[in-house]
Structure 1
Amino acid sequence: MDHRANPAAAAEAGIDRIADFAGLDAEAREQVARRARVVQLPKDSHPFVAGAPCEAYLIVIEGCVRVQIVAESGREIVLYRVASGESCVLTTSCLLKHEPYSAEALCESVVTALAIPAGLFHDLLGTSSAFRKAVLESYATRVTDLIMTFEELAFRRLDRRLAEALVERAVDGAVTATHHDLAVELGSAREVVSRALKALEQDGLVGLGRGMIRITAPDRLARLARSV
C-alpha cells in the first residue's frame, strides 16, 4: 500500500501489524488511524539525534533501529535495538518527561514505522486505558531488556560476549564485520576487542581477515558463548 496516497488506510493497516495494539478500543483506534502516519526511513538515516525534541511516538512495523550513545571521543556504545512491533524506551521516556533525546538512533535497514504525534500520544494516555496499558507494558519490557544489557556489560567477561556476538552474526561460518563494528556492539574499545579476537585466533576458534572473521571451531565457540 502507498501510505502517501491514503495515509489513514496505511495507518489502519499499520495498527493491525502491531501486536501491542490488538486490544485498542474503537475510539483510540480511530484516533490513531486518523492522526498518525506511516513513515519510511532509509537505511543509515537517523530517526533522532541527541538534543533533538521528541515529536512522535514511533513503533517499528518493519526493519530495525539501533539506539546508541556517542561520546565526545567518537566512541559508540549500543544501548539496544528496536525491532518489528517494538517501540523505543527512550522515546517513551522523553515524551513522558517532555525532555529532548539524550542518545541517537540509526536505521540498520529500511524502516517502516507508525508515528503517533506527541499531542495524540498524551491525549490517548489520558483517555484510553487500552492505549495506556500497551505503552506502559512495552516500556516496562524494554527497561528490563536495558537492565540486562547493563548487567552483561558490567559483569560478563568480554570474551564470552564476543563469542556470543560472533555466533549470532555468523553466516556460512564467517562474520562480516570490522573490529570497530564489534566494539560498538559490545560497548568496548576497538583495541580491547582486537586483543580479544587475537586471543580467540590463538586458541584456534577463529581466523582473522580484513573485514571478515572465519569461525574455525564453531562448537567450541558456541560453548564459550554459552558460558557465564
Structure 2
Amino acid sequence: MAEDEREKLERTQQKPPWLHAFAPLSDLDPISRAALSALQEMKFAKGKRLFAPGVHSSGFVLLLSGRIRVGLTAENGRRLVLYRVVPGETCIQTTLCLLGGLDYTAEGVAESELRLVIVPPALFQRLLRESPTFARFVFERFGARLSEMTRLIETIAFLRVDARLAAALIARAGERGAVVATHQELAEDIGAAREVVSRQLALFQRGGLVRLGRGRVAIANRRALVDFACVI
C-alpha cells in the first residue's frame, strides 16, 4: 500500500477530537466518520441569534460547549422558553426543519459562548440514509426532546403558576441553593407574565420559602417548594 493511501486510511479511521463529546457516535462506520471529521468547529458569542422564525436551517447542530435557549415570542411580547440545548443534546426545531424541509418556528439564542459543529443538510440526509448509528442517534434525541415538549404542554395546561414557578426555582437552583435570574427570565421559563411571577415570588418570600435579592432568589425552604411543585 502506498504511503499516501495508508495515511488517508488512518485519517478515515480516526475520530476527530470533537466527536468524543458524542459517545453514541463512537461506532460510526469509517466513511461516515471521515465525512464528519472534515467538519470544522465553530464558535459563537453569548447573545448570538442562531435562528429565527421563517428561516431555513443551515444544518444539524452538534453542540460541544455552551448552552442554547430555544423559545417563542408572542405578538404581545410575552416569551416562553421551550427548551435549552446543552452539549450532547440536539435541537428538535432543527431536526424537524431538516426532516420536513420546513422553516424554523422558534428562535434560538446563545446563552453563553458556544463551540459547535454544523452538519450541512446534504450530509445530514446522506448520513441518515447510510449510517444506522447516526440515524439512531438523531431519532433517539428527537424522541427525548418530543417527550420534553409533551411535558411542557402538560405543565402549562394543568399546573398552577405557583407550582410551575416552584419547579422552575428548584431546577435552576440545583444544589447551589440559589437562583441567579431576573423575574422576566423566570416568567419566560414557565410561560407567565413577569408581573404574575413577581407577585408569586413575593408570596413565597412572605411564606418563608425564598429570600429575594437583585437578580437572585435564595431558596429558604426547599421542602416547601417541592410540595408546591407537586401540587396539580
Tell me if both proteins adopt one fold, taking TM over 0.5 as the criterion.
Answer: yes
| 1:133 paired to 2:136 | yes
TM-score normalised by L of structure 2: 0.86
Partner of 1:167: 170
Give, in angstroms, the shift of residue 54 of structure 1: 0.5
Could you list the runs of 5+ residues in structure 2 that have no partner in the other structure?
1-11
| 1:197 paired to 2:201 | yes
Worse overlay, 189-198 or 207-216: 207-216
Partner of 1:3: none
C-alpha distance in structure 2 between counterparts of 1:220 and 1:100, whole Å:
43
SS in 1 for 2:115: strand
Give, in angstroms, the shift of residue 56 of structure 1: 0.7
C-alpha distance in structure 1 between counterparts of 2:204 and 2:124, whole Å:
48
RMSD: 2.1
Q: Which amino acid aligns with 2:228?
A: L
1:88-167 aligned within 5 A: 88-167=91-170
Give, in angstroms, the shift of residue 202 of structure 1: 2.5
Partner of 2:31: 27
**Any idea what the Cα deviations from partners look like across 1:194-223, whole Å, max 9, x if unmatched?**
221122122221233432323333332233
Contact 1:205 1:217 in 2 (8 A): yes
| 1:206 paired to 2:230 | no
Runs of 4+ residues deviating >6 angstroms: none
Q: Which amino acid aligns with 2:221?
A: A
SS in 2 for 1:47: strand
SS in 1 for 2:41: strand
Number of residue pairs matched? 219
Worse overlay, 22-31 or 172-181: 172-181
Contact 2:21 2:87 in 1 (8 A): no
Partner of 2:42: 39
TM-score normalised by L of structure 1: 0.87
Contact 1:21 1:131 in 2 (8 A): yes
Contact 1:163 1:222 in 2 (8 A): yes
Partner of 2:220: 216
C-alpha distance in structure 2 between counterparts of 1:72 and 1:102, whole Å:
14
C-alpha distance in structure 2 between counterparts of 1:213 and 1:140, whole Å:
33
**Any idea what the Cα deviations from partners look like across 1:104-142, whole Å, max 9, x if unmatched?**
111111111121011111111122222212211211111
Give, in angstroms, the shift of residue 45 of structure 1: 0.9
Contact 1:20 1:85 in 2 (8 A): no
Rg larger for:
2
Could you list the runs of 5+ residues in structure 1 that have no partner in the other structure?
1-7
Worse overlay, 205-214 or 53-62: 205-214
Partner of 2:89: 86
Partner of 2:80: 77
Contact 1:49 1:101 in 2 (8 A): yes
Contact 1:44 1:109 in 2 (8 A): yes
